[in-house]
Structure 1
Amino acid sequence: MTITVATKEQLSIVQRLAYEIWPDTYGKILSKIQLDFMLDKFYSTASLEEQMLEKNQVFMLIEDQGKYLGFCAYELNIDNSQKTKLHKIYVLPETQGKGVGKLLLETVENAARKAGNTHLILNVNRFNNALEFYKHKGFTVVDEVNIEIGHGYLMEDYVMEKNLS
């Protein structure tokens, strides 16, 4: 498996993967209308370009034998701190449990350490099965937040943190 930093031209791959992965990940948690709203809000071409070019998020793609299996996005030194924020990490449903997410997470952790960051933080939906993955990888819940995203929709998340030192 190969992990590479995505270029602006490869954001369409991120977009395609999100549209393929999200229904499986959130289909039992969110209504179809909310899921479609969120995909459009966070994965439109304009939104992805803004995240990459204006918000300094690094997108990474993981592939195996020419097939893209997933992606992640992170931001170093979030809010001028020594923390890296993992904004997204998603892998195709058929690859879950096969180490793909683990490789992406380890790559982000290494980038954070290299930048001198001491903690990795993320938000995860309180009902997302990935919660157990993060706990298993050393994250702990440090806060609970409700984030309004428009049209009356709310992201009900845990904030999780992992000490990298």
Structure 2
Amino acid sequence: MIERIAQEEVQRIEDLARATWPDTFKEILTPDQIEYMLNWMYNVDTLKEQISKGHEFYIYKDQEDLGFIGLEPNYEGASKLRIHKIYVLPAAQGKKVGKQLMDFAEKRAQELSLACLNLNVNRYNAAVDFYKHIGFQITKTEDIDIGEGFFMNDYVMEKAL
């Protein structure tokens, strides 16, 4: 089941991020960068602020929280649904949780009459192949300075709807 998360429930998102990031990024990022990014992007105050600005967070739950997705409708004023965050617990990977969250995002975009899905993904993340498999294309490469000497080395990917 996929359920929308209210501001007072964002601790669940932070908990899932902290449970997924170390395994997801252990071969790509240093432990220091993982911790820096978790503290920067997934603290409760930041998540609450994002909801107040129109972001939507959803959790996939099957007896326990297994994964989540963060969406921003009309990203940068365009007809895009931005997928800012999507992570699945390591134990739930390969069980279609990520696919169901992505299908949900596509349906949400269609409900909002948006033309495409848009996301950033680390260029070395295995998820790049998953996104390609479900119809995303790389539209550009970017290196984003996030402070403290850390960078996000990403692909921007889109899927037309």
Answer yes or no: same fold by TM over 0.5: yes
Q: Deviations over 1:35-56 (max 9, x none)?
A: 11000000111111111112x1
Structure 1 residue aligned with 2:29: 30
Query: Are 2:69 and 1:72 equivalent residues in the alignment?
Result: yes
Aligned to 2:15: 16
- Is there any run of 5+ residues in structure 1 with no aligned partner, and where? none
Aligned to 1:155: 152
- Letter of the 1:57 counterpart: H
Q: Which residue of 1 aligns with 2:130?
A: 133
Letter paired with 1:22: W
Unaligned runs of 5+ in 2: none
When the two chains are superposed, the root-mean-square deviation of aligned CA atoms in Å is 0.7
In structure 2, distance between residues paired with 1:10 and 1:105: 21
Matches within 5 A, 1:42-121: 42-54=41-53, 56-65=54-63, 67-121=64-118
Deviation at 1:91, TM superposition (A): 0.4
- Aligned identity (percent) is 42
Question: What secondary structure does 2:28 align onto?
Answer: coil
Show CA shifts across 1:94-119 (max 9, x none). Answer: 11111100111111110101111011
| Cα distance in 1 for residues equivalent to 2:27 and 2:79 | 35
1:151 and 1:13 map into 2 onto residues whose CA distance is 27
Q: TM-score scaled to structure 1, two decimals? A: 0.95
The runs of at least 4 aligned residues of structure 1 exceeding 3 Å deviation read none
1:60 and 1:141 map into 2 onto residues whose CA distance is: 25
